[in-house]
Amino acid sequence: GAGVSQSPRYKVAKRGQDVALRCDPISGHVSLFWYQQALGQGPEFLTYFQNEAQLDKSGLPSDRFFAERPEGSVSTLKIQRTQQEDSAVYLCASSIGVPSYEQYFGPGTRLTVT
């Protein structure tokens, strides 16, 4: 079937606005991951879900970042009161099993905070 999809692909937010980024994983994939990728860097882990349970949120930079996956499929990453340093590409990945399995990445959402 289809791969991982993310929306929107591009988002421009004014500083202080809230944003919500959506991820549709591959159907049947148990694990879902969010990463932040700054220009010229590797993806940095934000948070991990196994089904609807958020098992690790140690990478979330501050309490302005919040992620959910209420029904164990679609996930939303919300950033409140955006700041310029939040500008980055936000990647979502899903995996059929635990984190040791290969991950399938979506195209990412490029967030620019002005």
Partner 1 sequence: GQQVMQIPQYQHVQEGEDFTTYCNSSTTLSNIQWYKQRPGGHPVFLIQLVKSGEVKKQKRLTFQFGEAKKNSSLHITATQTTDVGTYFCAALMEYGNKLVFGAGTILRVKS
The residue ranges that bind partner 1 (CB under 8 A) are 33, 35, 40-45, 48, 55-56, 58-59, 91, 93, 98-100, 102-108
Q: In angstroms, give the least distance from the CB of 58 to partner 1.
A: 8
Nearest to 97 by CA among 23, 25, 35, 28: 28
Nearest to 3 by CA among 110, 96, 74, 105: 105
d(CA 21, CA 38): 16
For 2, 13, 16, 57, 65, the CA distances from 45, given in Å and listed in that order, are: 24, 22, 24, 9, 13
Structure tokens at 112: 């620019």
Q: In angstroms, give the least distance from the CB of 56 to partner 1.
A: 6
Of 27 and 58, CB closest to partner 1 = 58
Q: In angstroms, give the least distance from the CB of 2 to partner 1.
A: 14
Of 80 and 104, CB closest to partner 1 = 104
Of 19 and 89, CB closest to partner 1 = 89
Q: In angstroms, give the least distance from the CB of 98 to partner 1.
A: 7
